[in-house]
């Protein structure tokens, strides 16, 4: 099978492309510049992007490219730009893919389509609150319509936080804090969080490509375990071989401090629970996460130490 992977230069794409190649797929890696062997250059993704060359001969697409929220943008500006890439760009790719004869379209989405906190399963309503979540939800709706109209199969994978070698953003900042051994005021936080290790995610995507299934699906992908923020800090500390100092500051105090600093949204994400139910994926595909969370965290720490030493 020939597969187009968009966002091949990103966090997920860099791991997915060689993994699918090892499984025997012929992979077309779509990147912005297309400077390496096997890559196809694709300009900025949007409603007028031409995917003809990238899609030639492909039977499947894994659409991992996306635009994430940026702190320096206003809410209106961020939503407009997210919609251009994540919504309009995804729908245009799907239309061209269907025309080109693609049979299976895998859309990498986010649990943010459901919201920022809660316990989510296949019946949970969509209540996105930020630009990224809104644009991904609108893309899911539009893609479902295209799938119905064209007969191209759609698989949507909604992800919680993804971690692993190459991770950035808040997870990387947390690792840096843990490494410093500074006292962290999270001992009293009693929450539950779903995460997905990059190795588990790309294995699930591979299962979606090689398993013969009929119909359209929306699935959550996660590690088999859930974890609290204090447990995550302790696990990272253990993997790094550093002592952790957790102070029992009440969560409502932490939230008041965050509000005073203009970080109320960040506080709700950090202190709240967000758990996804990936049972449907496991039942339909017979998939099981090949790596434990402990293995994933250790691999992430090894990468972190290696890139710090460079």
List of long-range contacts for 201-204, beta carbons under 8 Å, 24+ apart = 201/12, 201/159, 201/162, 201/164, 202/12, 202/15, 202/16, 202/19, 202/20, 203/19, 203/287, 203/289, 203/290, 204/157, 204/281, 204/285, 204/287, 204/289
pLDDT for the residue numbered 55: 97
pLDDT for the residue numbered 267: 85
Domain ranges across the chain: 2-159
Nearest Cα neighbor of 68 from 144, 142, 11 is: 11
19 is catalytic: no
pLDDT digits (tens), the chain, 310 positions: 999 999 999 999 999 999 999 999 999 999 987 677 778 989 889 999 999 999 999 999 999 999 886 655 667 788 999 999 999 999 999 999 999 999 999 999 999 999 999 999 989 999 999 999 999 999 999 999 999 999 999 999 999 999 999 998 889 999 999 999 889 999 999 999 999 999 999 999 999 999 999 999 999 999 999 999 999 999 999 999 999 889 999 999 999 998 998 888 788 888 999 999 999 999 999 999 999 999 999 999 999 999 877 6
Q: Model's pTM, two decimal places?
A: 0.94
pLDDT for the residue numbered 310: 65
Active-site hit among 19, 132, 197, 304: 132
- CATH number belonging to domain 2-159: 3.40.50.720
pLDDT for the residue numbered 264: 82
How many CA atoms lie within 13 Å of 268's alpha carbon, on the beta-carbon side? 9
């Amino acid at each position: 099978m020939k597969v187009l992977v968009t966002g091949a230069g990103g966090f997920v794409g860099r791991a997915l492309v060689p993994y699918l190649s090892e499984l025997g797929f012929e992979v077309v890696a779509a990147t912005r510049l297309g400077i390496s062997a096997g890559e196809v250059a694709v300009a900025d993704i949007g409603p007028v992007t031409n995917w003809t060359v990238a899609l030639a001969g492909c039977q499947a697409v894994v659409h991992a490219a996306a635009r994430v929220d940026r702190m320096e943008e206003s809410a209106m500006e961020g939503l407009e730009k997210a919609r251009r890439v994540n919504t309009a760009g995804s729908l245009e790719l799907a239309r061209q893919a269907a025309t080109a004869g693609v049979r299976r379209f895998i859309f990498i989405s986010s649990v943010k389509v459901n919201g920022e906190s809660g316990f989510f399963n296949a019946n949970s309503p969509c209540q996105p609150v930020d630009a990224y979540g809104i644009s991904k939800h609108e893309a899911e709706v539009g893609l479902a319509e295209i799938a119905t109209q064209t007969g191209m199969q759609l698989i949507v994978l909604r992800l919680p936080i993804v971690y692993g070698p190459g991770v950035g953003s808040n997870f990387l900042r947390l690792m840096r804090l843990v490494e410093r051994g500074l006292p962290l005021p999270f001992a009293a936080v009693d929450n539950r969080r779903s995460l997905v290790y990059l190795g588990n995610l790309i294995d699930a995507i591979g299962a979606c490509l090689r398993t013969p299934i009929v119909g359209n699906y929306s699935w959550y992908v996660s590690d088999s375990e859930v974890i609290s923020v204090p447990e995550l800090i302790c696990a990272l500390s253990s993997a790094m071989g550093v002592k952790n100092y957790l102070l029992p500051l009440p969560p409502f105090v932490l939230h008041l401090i965050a509000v005073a600093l203009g970080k109320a949204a960040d506080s709700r994400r950090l202190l709240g629970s967000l758990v996804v139910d990936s049972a449907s994926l496991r039942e339909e595909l017979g998939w099981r996460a090949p790596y434990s969370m402990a293995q994933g965290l250790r691999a992430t720490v090894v990468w972190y130490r290696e890139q710090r030493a460079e």
